[in-house]
């Protein structure tokens, strides 16, 4: 029986939804391998996080509570997670393919001498055993990766898996004596300059309104889509072209080199639909495209398409939605 260890991501005492997506992946893998799932909670003052996860059916919730883990520096986090994997005999270490996961997991793999599969979107049965399916060439192809090392390290693309539901019960919580060795890591936390927004986190939002290069600043820019996002309680995203041209902040970027999202509703407004952008949003449940050119690639993946000027169509759509809501 193999043990799967899932790294929980959290913020201000709250479990991130991304963790629940990875937890569902771990459950599916456990069903295939006859294994069990444990959860690792790293940080400082993380008791509420562990408590919030007790109803999700984990065998054990391992808590590494240490002042040097208050901010997730990759080196110390990787050491503690690798130490925990060794002490529990975990055969798979999994985390979300987020900024944190992409920073920490390769270091964990190096410490464990483990093979790694990144951005996994599915599990596949092959004659060589269970394979991890992951996109390559900006999502144009899918590769099935079989890892032959004793321990596997896996980052999971959260958009490919639903969020795990609570199953009841109360998993036992076990403290782990963490030794981050912050001094040896030769790094220290100075400060965190985060983007403050009243809108939902882009990676977790159920509605995303994204704009592209067609939203020229001289015509109103991204200001035209903000009322739509506000009305729907959604997050705002952007194509790389819009970010590169300075139309919006880089934390809006969606795509191969940005954030990967899969909301219930995705608006692609004045976005052409280059393959790099599609790689970051094509798993959205419903895609609505608005563009002046009917031959743009975005219409090939859209569930609903409107050939129109965004600076005319979007305000009209906002007014119609307001009327319906009222």
Q: Which of these, 116, 186, 210, 154, lies nearest to 29 by C-alpha position?
A: 154
Contact between 299 and 241 (Cβ < 8 Å): no
Which residues are CB-contacts of 79 (< 8 A; sequence separation ≥ 6)? 107, 111, 179, 180, 181, 185
Average pLDDT over residues 65-74: 93
What domains sit in the chain, N to C, each tagged with a CATH number? 3-185 (3.40.50.620), 207-325 (3.40.50.1220)
Q: And the tokens for 290?
A: 């608005």
Predicted local confidence at residue 137, as pLDDT: 86
Asked if residue 1 has pLDDT above 60, the reply is: no
Neighbours of 303 (CB within 10 A): 12
pLDDT tens across 150-179, in order? 999 999 998 899 999 999 889 999 999 999
pLDDT digits (tens, 9 = 90+) for 274-322: 999 998 998 899 999 999 999 999 999 999 999 999 999 999 999 999 9
């Amino acid at each position: 029986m193999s043990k799967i260890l899932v790294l929980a991501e959290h913020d201000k005492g709250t479990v991130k939804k991304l963790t629940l997506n990875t937890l569902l992946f771990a459950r599916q893998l456990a069903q295939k391998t006859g294994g069990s799932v444990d959860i690792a909670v790293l940080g400082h003052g993380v008791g509420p996080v562990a408590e919030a996860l007790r109803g999700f059916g984990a065998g054990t919730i391992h808590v590494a509570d240490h002042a040097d883990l208050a901010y997730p520096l990759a080196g110390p986090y990787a050491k503690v997670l690798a130490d925990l994997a060794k002490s529990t005999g975990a055969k798979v270490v999994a985390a979300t393919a987020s900024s944190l996961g992409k920073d920490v997991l390769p270091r964990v793999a190096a410490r464990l001498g483990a093979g790694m599969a990144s951005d996994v979107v599915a599990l596949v049965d092959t004659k060589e055993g269970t394979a991890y399916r992951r996109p390559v060439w900006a999502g144009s192809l899918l590769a099935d990766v079989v890892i032959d090392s004793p321990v596997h390290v896996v980052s999971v693309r959260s958009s490919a898996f639903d969020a795990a539901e609570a199953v009841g019960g109360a998993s036992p919580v076990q403290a782990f004596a963490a030794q981050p060795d912050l001094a040896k890591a030769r790094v220290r936390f100075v400060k965190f300059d985060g983007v403050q927004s009243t809108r939902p986190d882009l990676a977790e939002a159920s509605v995303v309104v994204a704009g592209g290069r067609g939203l020229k600043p001289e015509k109103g820019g991204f200001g035209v889509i903000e009322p739509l996002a506000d009305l729907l309680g959604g997050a705002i995203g952007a194509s790389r072209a819009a970010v590169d041209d300075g139309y919006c902040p880089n934390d809006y970027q969606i795509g191969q080199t940005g954030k990967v999202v899969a909301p219930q509703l995705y608006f692609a407004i004045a976005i052409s639909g280059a393959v790099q952008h599609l790689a970051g949003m094509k798993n959205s449940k419903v895609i609505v495209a608005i563009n002046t050119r009917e031959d743009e690639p975005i219409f090939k993946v859209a569930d609903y398409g409107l050939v129109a000027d965004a600076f005319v169509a979007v305000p009209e759509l906002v007014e119609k939605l307001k009327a319906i809501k009222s």
